[in-house]
Structure 1
Amino acid sequence: MKKHPLSRRIGAVLCAPLLVAAAATAQPLWPEPRPEPRPEQALRAGPRSVPNFEAPSATHCARPVSTREVPGFADPDPQGRAGVPDALAKAAPEARGTEDRMRREAPPSAVASPAPRAPAAPGIAARESFAPHDPAPAQPQWAAPPTVTAGVVDDNADFSAYLAFRERTRVEHRPRDVRRRHLLEVKDRRGRPVGDAEVAVQGSSGYAMWARTDAGGRAWLHPDAFDPLRSPQYEVVVRKDGAQSSARLARGQKSAVEVVLDAAAPAPRARLDLVFLIDATGSMADEIDKLKATLRTITAEVAALPSRPDICLGLVAYRDRGDAFVLRSHDFTNDVGAFLQQALYPLQAAGGGDYPEAMNEALHDTVHQLSWRGDGATRLVILLADAPPHLDYGAPHYDEDMLAALGKGIKVFGVGASGLDRQGEFIQRQIAQYTGGKFVFLTYADAHRPGSGPGRETVHDVKNYSVDTLDRLVVRLITEELAKAGR
């Protein structure tokens, strides 16, 4: 008996999705991320289900120091922000009144010969210069800063403690659900870790996310952070050097997944892209001075590691609206001397006023505007701040950019300076945990008196932490990241 033509057409329609699913299973499709839109496009784009970003692709950082500045806006109320001492506004309740935090310094001079450039974020104009903007003496003259000690916790290593911290900390933040997570490990056929492999996670709901493995071939995946529909299963696709492999994740099953990829062995010499993302408002003078005094030593110790890392340095300093600048960004360079003289040494702590600062804008610029290298680089950000971001300014939003940071393989290590409140701690730890970084915090002999000098005490909600001087701790964190590749 012959089937009616209409029946055959209906059967073909019903079978088509099954055929597509079978083809996808045989050769998973790579869900390409969308490039970061121009501001006028962003206004029309509407809600986004995935972070927009372009994959890191720079091939080198052998370039002169360049400066791009987003100027602050005129303050309509000169008795408002400017009338509130920044150090008083930022001091945590238990630390307010500390004399050594109550100083403000003159703002740096304006950028020389600015040239127009596309804005870093919607509605904010930027300007760029390739000339030194604040001439500094060959040998900067400042008093040696006192020893600064710090502790560190790894919220991914003690994840249950981190979830308990989130549960008991009721502060305003951008929510992302990380309670469900999976550890992805990518190895070659000899069992060696495959670092900087691209990862795409596609849910049956259509929502997707991206990540890159660290030097140890690992990445933490949090499906519920990007998929509000809670897909029952996900396709995990991994690729590098033209090779591609995949695995499936089903809700309620594997907590870890391993993917084997035919990838070339890593280069013997590591590539390190290191950015200092710094709150440069008035209360941060001590921390900035410490970084000025120790960064040359830090870079020298890192350069002397067994893998002889090829180091690129970048700096993004930020203040707030109404200050001399919202952010001042220096793209990557491998000229350490020029970086110190033209980017770091001229930086002064000034401005501020209210407690939150323009961290959202600065993180967005760091993730999307700097020339991050591709092809196996280790990408790290040291976020040094004593205040949370403004959550009342609108886009950009730090949670969207932390998702994009993971997609570009950028780990953020939050460093909580003195005066960082509970909200600031929550957000720094949120960014660090999601991107695979750690939370660092300054410690003192008396936690409630930052002027008491170095010690082991902290006001932060942490336990089981180790303490060292801040400069040695930074070197240790970088060393541990590079060592994950077995170099």
Structure 2
Amino acid sequence: MGAPRFFLSTLAPLGAALALLAACAQAAPAAWPPAWNEPPAPQQQQDFTLPAFEPPSASHCRRLPGTREVPGGGGQWSEGRLRRGLGHAESAPAAAEDRAEDRAEGRAEGRAEMAARSMAPAPAATAALPQPAPRIAPRREAVTAGMVDDNADFGEYLAYRQRNAGLAVRERDIAERYLLEVTDAAGRPVHDAEVAVQRAGRAEPVMWARTDTAGRVWLHPRAFLAPGVDDRALGIAVRKGAAWSRATLLRGEQRAALQVRLGGAQNPAQRARLDLVFLVDATGSMGDEIAKLKASMRAMAQQIAQLPGQPDICWGLVAYRDRGDAFLTRTHDFTDDLAAFQGVLARVQAGGGGDTPEALNEALHETVHRLSWRADAARMVVLVADAPPHLDYGGCMEPPEAEGFGPPRGQRPGSGRPGACPQYDIDMQAALAKGIKLFAVGASGLDPVGEYVYRQIAQYTAGRFVFLTYKDAADPGSGPGTQTPHDVRGYSVQTLDRLIVKLVGDELARLPRG
């Protein structure tokens, strides 16, 4: 027998109220007060298409540093004026900003000198003319740093990634990896050999890479194969000049390395070639350390230029800020003039920023695709920054091209059409395709997301993760020391300039010499 109608009609509102309370309970925030101004978590839509890139092809860098600037206003790409030649190494907006910053620095130095004069004792009455007080040079404080090689201690790196699973990053599965070693007929390592990875029955490679100075490259199939593609065998094609060879990578096999020998003997260069780029976060959060870092980078450049064998070095610089700032990226193409490069580096000033993430995606894209990388050179990037990239930008404009900065392969130049923003995981793959190693230096304040991203791009390209250390890990103002807030194990500490110089020297020392 059914329930009376009046009883059902009484229960209906009560049931609806209970359902509403249950829904509210489920929707209640986990913490109080609830967040109200945080952007939504980005949707992680991975792109497993082959990154577009141009192989390194420049023959020299005998020029003054040209400059290409992308303004940061409104998030729109636009063309900065490019000038080359003595006295015109920077674009007009860049030069105006530098002049303003120089004037500000000059006023500060003038105030310091006046203060020094006021504290100096009065000259004796018999003195002929008062002598100017000596310029007080700022005390240079040492910058100490540690380093981890996540490829050498791969098990610990995988454990680190597991400890930090769930961070809002662009994940690439690198747990499965294989070492490829390329030698010539004499058994010597072949540097800068092109490596193409192919699927059976497919002409177009699914991945490109270039061997480093030791003739080696790490391959991570799950990082570039789309989900569901589980080919047990992958084809490997290797080429250097007219010599080429093939091999088959059988996934799942445990071996020290897959070895490929090219026919014929290579002709090693008499003098090592190095293309070195400093990629610098120039936002306001770097202001407290950027002077110290610039001094370290100047010392690095001087010491690298004096390495044994006097390597043939091309110097490049990419500074970046963020949308809404005076510039998004400021790119100084390669030059062999160390003095001119030092002058460009000296004018880097911190400013802008605001939120924590910065335009690292765009800066890395500029670095990988729009510099004049040389053929048959060791290629290295030293990133110095304290923040992760923006992963929440919805759309960008394709940048028009300035002279000497062509578009990546497969992209139409100067179209200015809306498109997808650059992403660091795609460009780290393009960096590997061009044989560029990324060494990421984490400055104070780098959060766990930034550390994860920096270690991703360093490990994938066989670079290193470097981090500043302090006397007190929680206080960057405590001075140089051995402590760090980062999730690292078993590191040694030395000054930042000596550490980077050693890494560069080790890379060049592996090059076969004629």
Normalised by the length of structure 2, the TM-score is: 0.73
Select the residue among 461, 479, 486 that pairs with 1:453.
479
Select the residue among 273, 276, 279 that pairs with 1:274.
276
| CA positional deviation for 1:143 | 2.5
| CA positional deviation for 1:416 | 0.4
Measured in 1, the distance between the counterparts of 2:296 and 2:332 equals 19
Whether the aligned pair in 1 keeps the contact of 2:268 and 2:512 (CA below 8 Å) is no
Measured in 1, the distance between the counterparts of 2:138 and 2:391 equals 36
Structure 2 match to 1:337: 339
| CA positional deviation for 1:175 | 1.2
Structure 1 match to 2:393: 393
Structure 2 match to 1:72: 72
> How far does the alpha carbon of each residue in 1:312-338 deviate from its partner, in whole angstroms, 9 at most, with x for none?
110001110011111111000011111
| CA positional deviation for 1:484 | 1.7
Structure 2 residue ranges without an equivalent (≥5): 1-45, 110-136, 395-420
The verdict on how the C-alpha distance between 1:287 and 1:266 changes in structure 2, with shifts beyond 3 A counting, is farther
| CA positional deviation for 1:254 | 4.6
Structure 2 match to 1:154: 149
| CA positional deviation for 1:486 | 4.9
Structure 2 match to 1:178: 174
Correspondences of 1:55-454 after superposition (within 5 Å): 55-74=55-74, 124-130=77-83, 131=88, 132=90, 133=95, 134=98, 143-169=138-164, 170-204=166-200, 206=202, 208-228=206-226, 229-255=229-255, 256-261=257-262, 262-341=264-343, 343-374=344-375, 376-394=376-394, 395-454=421-480
| CA positional deviation for 1:48 | 5.7
| CA positional deviation for 1:345 | 1.4
> How far does the alpha carbon of each residue in 1:340-392 deviate from its partner, in whole angstroms, 9 at most, with x for none?
22x21111001110000000000000000000001x20000001110000001
Measured in 1, the distance between the counterparts of 2:265 and 2:491 equals 37
Whether the aligned pair in 2 keeps the contact of 1:177 and 1:225 (CA below 8 Å) is yes
Identity %: 58
| CA positional deviation for 1:189 | 1.8
User: Number of residue pairs matched?
Assistant: 392
* 1:393 counterpart letter in structure 2: Y
Q: Please give the secondary structure, in 1, of the residue aligned with 2:253.
A: coil
> How far does the alpha carbon of each residue in 1:21-46 deviate from its partner, in whole angstroms, 9 at most, with x for none?
xxxxxxxxxxxxxxxxxxxxxxxxx9
Measured in 2, the distance between the counterparts of 1:157 and 1:245 equals 28
The verdict on how the C-alpha distance between 1:482 and 1:182 changes in structure 2, with shifts beyond 3 A counting, is same
Whether the aligned pair in 2 keeps the contact of 1:205 and 1:230 (CA below 8 Å) is no
Measured in 2, the distance between the counterparts of 1:296 and 1:47 equals 38
Q: Please give the secondary structure, in 2, of the residue aligned with 1:297.
A: helix
The verdict on how the C-alpha distance between 1:235 and 1:267 changes in structure 2, with shifts beyond 3 A counting, is same
Q: Please give the secondary structure, in 1, of the residue aligned with 2:506.
A: helix
The verdict on how the C-alpha distance between 1:205 and 1:356 changes in structure 2, with shifts beyond 3 A counting, is farther
Measured in 2, the distance between the counterparts of 1:332 and 1:53 equals 18
| CA positional deviation for 1:246 | 1.3
Structure 1 residue runs of 4 or more that deviate by more than 4 Å after TM superposition: 139-142
Q: Please give the secondary structure, in 2, of the residue aligned with 1:258.
A: strand
Whether the aligned pair in 1 keeps the contact of 2:197 and 2:207 (CA below 8 Å) is yes
Measured in 2, the distance between the counterparts of 1:145 and 1:230 equals 55
Q: CA RMSD in A?
A: 2.0
Normalised by the length of structure 1, the TM-score is: 0.77
| CA positional deviation for 1:263 | 4.2
Q: Please give the secondary structure, in 2, of the residue aligned with 1:452.
A: strand
Measured in 1, the distance between the counterparts of 2:498 and 2:251 equals 41
Whether the aligned pair in 2 keeps the contact of 1:447 and 1:458 (CA below 8 Å) is yes
* 1:268 counterpart letter in structure 2: Q
Measured in 1, the distance between the counterparts of 2:334 and 2:278 equals 11
Measured in 2, the distance between the counterparts of 1:472 and 1:163 equals 28
Structure 1 match to 2:30: none
Measured in 1, the distance between the counterparts of 2:433 and 2:283 equals 30
| CA positional deviation for 1:216 | 0.6
* 1:226 counterpart letter in structure 2: F
Whether the aligned pair in 2 keeps the contact of 1:194 and 1:215 (CA below 8 Å) is yes
Whether the aligned pair in 2 keeps the contact of 1:66 and 1:330 (CA below 8 Å) is yes
Whether the aligned pair in 2 keeps the contact of 1:268 and 1:307 (CA below 8 Å) is no
* 2:350 counterpart letter in structure 1: A
Instruction: Judge which range, 474-483 or 151-160, deviates more.
Output: 474-483
Whether the aligned pair in 2 keeps the contact of 1:235 and 1:248 (CA below 8 Å) is yes
Whether the aligned pair in 2 keeps the contact of 1:444 and 1:453 (CA below 8 Å) is yes
Whether the aligned pair in 2 keeps the contact of 1:208 and 1:227 (CA below 8 Å) is yes
Whether the aligned pair in 2 keeps the contact of 1:152 and 1:465 (CA below 8 Å) is yes
Larger Rg over CA atoms:
2
* 1:270 counterpart letter in structure 2: A
**Residues 1:464 and 2:490 are matched in the alignment:** yes
* 1:416 counterpart letter in structure 2: G
| CA positional deviation for 1:300 | 2.9
Measured in 1, the distance between the counterparts of 2:48 and 2:489 equals 37
Structure 1 match to 2:23: none
> How far does the alpha carbon of each residue in 1:410-465 deviate from its partner, in whole angstroms, 9 at most, with x for none?
00001000000100000000000000100000001110111111111111010111
| CA positional deviation for 1:266 | 1.6
* 1:358 counterpart letter in structure 2: A
Whether the aligned pair in 2 keeps the contact of 1:144 and 1:293 (CA below 8 Å) is no
Measured in 2, the distance between the counterparts of 1:486 and 1:188 equals 11
The verdict on how the C-alpha distance between 1:296 and 1:460 changes in structure 2, with shifts beyond 3 A counting, is closer
The verdict on how the C-alpha distance between 1:191 and 1:64 changes in structure 2, with shifts beyond 3 A counting, is same
| CA positional deviation for 1:305 | 2.1
| CA positional deviation for 1:289 | 1.5
Whether the aligned pair in 1 keeps the contact of 2:48 and 2:225 (CA below 8 Å) is no
| CA positional deviation for 1:393 | 1.1
